[in-house]
């Protein structure tokens, strides 16, 4: 009981700590790494040295392998998890692989060699880690998959993520409502649309596309939505490593070719980074307030929310990285201390070898009408950050 109380106390402290940041670690005003997450941060920090045996993480180390610092969200994910784990007494080794598969493999190999007590992995390429995952399993090191499912391995114990298909449906339903596609259909009107989908080596991207098409396919079929490039399948619209530059290039090409004589009305983008790229392409092509398209995104990054406020992006998907980190931390605690974490899905996430027990958080659409309530009142960003 005493131990349980200590755990609860530590958890609430972790939240206080995160909340005190005002924004769950979202302090970076731009996409550059902040001081908590250096790529070379290979040394365990001092929080676990307190030697407080009551803390569940006392004397234990967690290795966190994150994909990249090029996108603000992963910086926040890493910072949130590090803070929460340290508040429970864990030592943390946090590394970013800058979207380099080989770099991530060697980072995890090093963590295995260091004999960390648990690994948390958000993969660069979800299927490319099978060998190092097997090494971890042989060494008795449990693995928790963070946000991106780890494919083709039996070495993963749990998965913490958002409802990824739900992200797709939320984006598509937003488009249906904002453009009143039912009304357009009844009036025989149409809107042009192009798709910018996520990385083919990320299971999230596949599910997101499925969610989008479940809602939008009927409107494409009856001509209410017109995709002039004809590129609607996942294979035709996926962008390797979620590259903003590729999205921008594609958008530039589309605008100068297929859309030379007609406006693009809807940019259906699966990621805030794509929305930034498309924004640049649209500006270069001379789009103004008059014909600015509806642009979707995902992650509610600080820059995306600023763009929503200025009208350059229409919506994003808010995925509270504090909550995701919290769920992941409970999984780490469970595997390290031999208890059962809370899970809410045991059917969806089949990685090709096993169905991974998961906790899925709920994604929420954010736009100009609800960003204050969701993000400022919710303590994710401060009004000052958004005003900068």
Q: Which is nearer to ligand GAL, 89 or 166 (CB)?
A: 166
Q: 235: burial class by Cβ within 10 Å (0-12, 13-18, 19+)?
A: exposed
**Pattern 32-61, binding to ligand GAL, x per CB under 6 A?**
------------------------------
Q: At what angle do helices 72-87 and 2-20 cross, to 10 degrees?
A: 150
- 234-240: which pairs have CB atoms within 8 A and are 24 or more residues apart? 234/197, 234/200, 234/205, 234/206, 234/209, 235/200, 237/195, 237/196, 237/197, 237/209, 238/197, 238/198, 238/199, 238/200, 238/205, 238/209, 239/196, 239/197, 239/198, 239/199, 239/274, 240/199, 240/200, 240/201
Q: Token pair of 111, please?
A: 């963590």
Q: How far is the CB of 377 from ligand GAL (least distance, A)?
A: 22
> CB of residue 344 vs ligand GAL: minimum separation in angstroms?
18
Nearer to ligand GAL, 161 or 333 (CB): 161
Which residue pairs, CB below 8 angstroms and at least 24 apart, start in 367-372?
A: 367/174, 367/308, 367/314, 367/315, 367/316, 368/308, 368/309, 368/311, 371/305, 371/308, 371/309
Cα gap 228→257, rounded to integer Å: 10
Query: HSE on the CB side for 86, CA within 13 Å?
Result: 19
**According to CB under 6 A, which one of 26, 37, 204, 330 is a site residue for ligand GAL?**
204
For residue 49, give both structure tokens: 């040295």
Q: Least Å distance between CB 200 and ligand GAL? A: 12
Instruction: Report the distance separating Cα 173 and Cα 112, nearest Å.
Output: 43
Inter-residue contact 278 to 253 (CB < 8 Å): no
Binding footprint of ligand GAL, residue count (CB under 6 A)? 12
Residue 202 found at the interface with ligand GAL (CB under 6 A)? yes
- Residue 314 binds ligand GAL, judged by CB under 6 A: no
Determine the Cα–Cα distance for residues 110 and 326; give it in Å rounded to an integer.
25
Residue 224 contacts ligand GAL per CB under 6 A: no
**Residue 125 or 202 with smaller CB distance to ligand GAL:** 202
Cα–Cα distance measured from residue 244 to residue 253, given in angstroms and rounded to the nearest whole number = 14
The one among 299, 360, 365, 366 contacting ligand GAL by CB under 6 A = 299
Task: Check residue 242 for interaction with ligand GAL (CB under 6 A).
Answer: yes
Is the Cβ of residue 192 or residue 298 nearer to ligand GAL in the bound state? 298
**Do residues 27 and 105 lie in contact, with contact meaning Cβ atoms separated by under 8 Å?**
no
Binding mask 249-278 for ligand GAL (x = CB under 6 A): ----------------------x-------
Q: Tell me: does residue 298 bind ligand GAL (CB under 6 A).
A: yes
The span of 15-23, 178-186, 198-206, 378-386 binding ligand GAL (CB under 6 A) equals 198-206
Closer residue to ligand GAL (CB): 205 or 227: 205
Please give the structure tokens belonging to residue 327.
Answer: 């769920």
* 163 contacts ligand GAL (rule: CB under 6 A): no
**Stretch 83-112 residues interacting with ligand GAL (CB under 6 A):** none
Residue (148 or 179) nearer to ligand GAL, CB: 148
Q: Is 146 in the site for ligand GAL (CB under 6 A)?
A: no
Stretch that binds ligand GAL, among 30-38, 197-205, 221-229, 288-296 (CB under 6 A): 197-205
Q: Please say which residue, 55 or 107, places its beta carbon nearer to ligand GAL.
A: 107
147 binds ligand GAL (CB under 6 A): yes
When the beta carbons of 82 and 148 are compared against ligand GAL, the nearer one is 148
Compute the least distance from the CB of residue 246 to ligand GAL, in Å. 13
Q: Does 148 engage in binding with ligand GAL (CB under 6 A)?
A: yes
Q: What whole-number distance in Å separates Cα of residue 245 and Cα of residue 237? A: 14
Does residue 301 interact with ligand GAL by CB under 6 A? no
73 binds ligand GAL (CB under 6 A): yes
Which distant-in-sequence residues (6+ apart) come within 8 Å of 191 by Cβ? 179, 181, 184, 224, 225, 226, 265, 266
Instruction: Note the residues at the interface with ligand GAL (CB under 6 A).
Output: 71, 73, 147-148, 198, 202, 204, 242, 271, 298-299, 319
């Amino acid at each position: 009981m005493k131990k349980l109380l200590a755990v609860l106390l530590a958890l609430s402290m972790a939240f206080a700590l995160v909340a005190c940041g005002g924004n769950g670690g979202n302090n970076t005003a731009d996409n550059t790494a902040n001081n908590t997450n250096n790529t070379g941060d290979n040394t365990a920090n001092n929080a676990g040295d307190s030697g407080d045996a009551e803390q569940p993480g006392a004397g234990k180390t967690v290795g966190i392998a994150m994909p990249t610092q090029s996108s603000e969200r992963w910086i926040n994910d890493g910072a949130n998890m590090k803070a929460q784990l340290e508040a429970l007494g864990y030592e943390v080794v946090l590394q970013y692989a800058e979207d380099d598969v080989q770099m991530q493999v060697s980072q995890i190999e090093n963590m295995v060699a260091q004999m960390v007590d648990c690994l948390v992995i958000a993969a660069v390429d979800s299927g490319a880690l099978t060998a190092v995952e097997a090494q971890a399993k042989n060494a008795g090191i449990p693995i928790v998959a963070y946000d991106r499912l780890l494919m083709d391995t039996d070495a993963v114990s749990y998965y913490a993520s958002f409802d990824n298909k739900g992200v797709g449906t939320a984006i598509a339903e937003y488009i249906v409502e904002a453009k009143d596609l039912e009304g357009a259909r009844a009036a025989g009107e149409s809107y042009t649309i192009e798709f910018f989908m996520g990385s083919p080596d990320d299971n999230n991207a596949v599910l997101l596309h499925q969610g989008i098409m479940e809602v939008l396919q009927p409107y494409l079929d009856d001509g209410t939505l017109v995709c002039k490039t004809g590129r609607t399948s996942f294979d035709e619209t996926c962008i390797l490593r979620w590259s903003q530059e590729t999205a921008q290039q594609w958008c530039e090409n589309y605008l100068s070719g297929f859309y030379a004589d007609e406006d693009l009305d809807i940019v259906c983008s699966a990621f805030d980074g794509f929305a930034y790229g498309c924004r640049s392409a649209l500006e270069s092509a001379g789009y103004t307030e008059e014909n600015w398209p509806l642009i979707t995104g995902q992650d509610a990054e600080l820059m995306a929310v600023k763009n929503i406020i200025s009208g350059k992006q229409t919506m994003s998907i808010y995925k509270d990285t504090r909550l995701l980190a919290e769920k992941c931390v409970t999984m780490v605690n469970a595997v390290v201390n031999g208890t059962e974490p809370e899970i809410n899905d045991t059917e969806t996430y089949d990685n090709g070898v096993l169905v991974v027990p998961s906790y899925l958080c709920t994604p929420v659409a954010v736009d100009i009408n609800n960003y204050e309530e969701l993000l400022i009142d919710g303590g994710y960003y401060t009004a000052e950050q958004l005003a900068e």
